[in-house]
Amino acid sequence: MMRFPLPPVVGFFITQLVDHNTSITSAKIKVNGVPLHYKQTGQGDHAVLLLPGMLGSSQTDFGPQLKSMNKQLFTIVAWDPRGYGHSIPPARDFPPDFFERDARDAVDLMQALKFKNFSMLGWSDGGITALIAAAKYPTLIHKLVVWGANAVVTQEDLKLYNAIRDVSKWSEKIRKQMEEMYGHEYFAKTCEAWVDGISQFADKPDGNICQHLLPHIKCPTFIIHGGKDPLVPQFHAEYLHKHIKESRLLLMPEGKHNLHLRFAEEFNRLVEDFLQ
């Protein structure tokens, strides 16, 4: 088994706000030199980190999970990766190792919050980040759930990514939500930068993002895929299932990319059953 050392963490609280209607705490803590924003709720012994997708945040991506997942069984943390949500500054960038950087930040955030072990729920880019974290820090990750994630970038994927490069072509509902969070200019520029950032993996052998790490994932893994996902074709979920030992794969025939929002009640039930 490959062993990867944990980098040092410097952390301290910067702000803390509590929504007393939902018992959700919003706070920032400095991790690896960056003030990272997160939301936290629940009092359970089982800590769970929620990892958002591209341009996503705790606010935009995980409302039904923060509100409705079992707070007696779980302590739920949803984070904003650097450059996303309320973890700005810094501005988001996409160097060749941006997924590894996010994985390190995510793990170090949970360590700074004093969670020795935890499970991860990763959506889309957050799923890729979670796969990398589970492989590189196997002693820390209890269980793993991913959906809308991929380990490689194919030529077919490049066509799908370039189709969303122009944010004016996004649905009005999602575009409005993103513009309220970021403003139009930051939203548009970051989306273009993301397409360029994710496309760089297509130049690697087999389009590799993290396929070489999949055999090193030892924790129980649950892969969920929406049968109508327009951004991540089903073969990606099947590839993950094939290469992650003893993983489970569930297809939600009517699910799209945001199946955890569209079918939140069913999704939460499935995930809670798996985590227990």
* Residue 7 maps to a domain: no
DSSP string, the chain: ----PPPP----EEEEEEETTTTEEEEEEEETTEEEEEEEE---SEEEEEE--TT--HHHH-HHHHHHS-TTTEEEEEEE-TTSTT--SSPP---TTHHHHHHHHHHHHHHHTT-SSEEEEEETHHHHHHHHHHHH-TTTEEEEEEES--SB--HHHHHHHHTTSSGGGS-HHHHHHHHHHH-HHHHHHHHHHHHHHHHGGGGSGGGBSSGGGGGG--S-EEEEEETT-SSS-HHHHHHHHHHSTT-EEEEETT--TTHHHHTHHHHHHHHHHHH-
Tokens of 274: 């798996």
Q: What is the CATH number of the domain that holds 148?
A: 3.40.50.1820
Q: Which domain holds residue 70?
A: 13-270
Q: Kindly report, residue by residue over 117-173, the tens digit of the pLDDT.
A: 999 999 999 999 999 999 999 999 999 999 999 999 999 999 999 999 999 999 999
102 labelled catalytic: no
Cα separation, 97 vs 103, in Å, equals 10
124 labelled catalytic: yes
pLDDT of residue 15: 46
Instruction: Catalogue the long-range contacts made by 22-25 (C-beta closer than 8 Å, 24 or more residues apart).
Output: 22/66, 22/67, 23/71, 24/66, 24/67
Total structural domains within the chain: 1
Per-residue pLDDT for 12 more than 50? no
Tokens of 196: 């360029």
Choose, from 80, 229, 236, 260, the residue flagged as catalytic: 229
Q: Kindly report, residue by residue over 36-66, the tens digit of the pLDDT.
A: 999 999 999 999 999 999 999 999 999 999 9
Choose, from 37, 216, 257, 260, the residue flagged as catalytic: 257
* Residue 2 maps to a domain: no
* Residue 276 maps to a domain: no
Choose, from 124, 125, 236, 260, the residue flagged as catalytic: 124
* Residue 170 maps to a domain: yes
* Residue 80 maps to a domain: yes
Per-residue pLDDT for 20 more than 50? no
37 labelled catalytic: no
pLDDT of residue 17: 53
- 188 near 109, Cβ under 8 Å? no
Cα separation, 128 vs 125, in Å, equals 5
Per-residue pLDDT for 180 more than 80? yes
pTM of the model: 0.92
pLDDT band at 5 (very low <50, low <70, confident <90, very high): very low
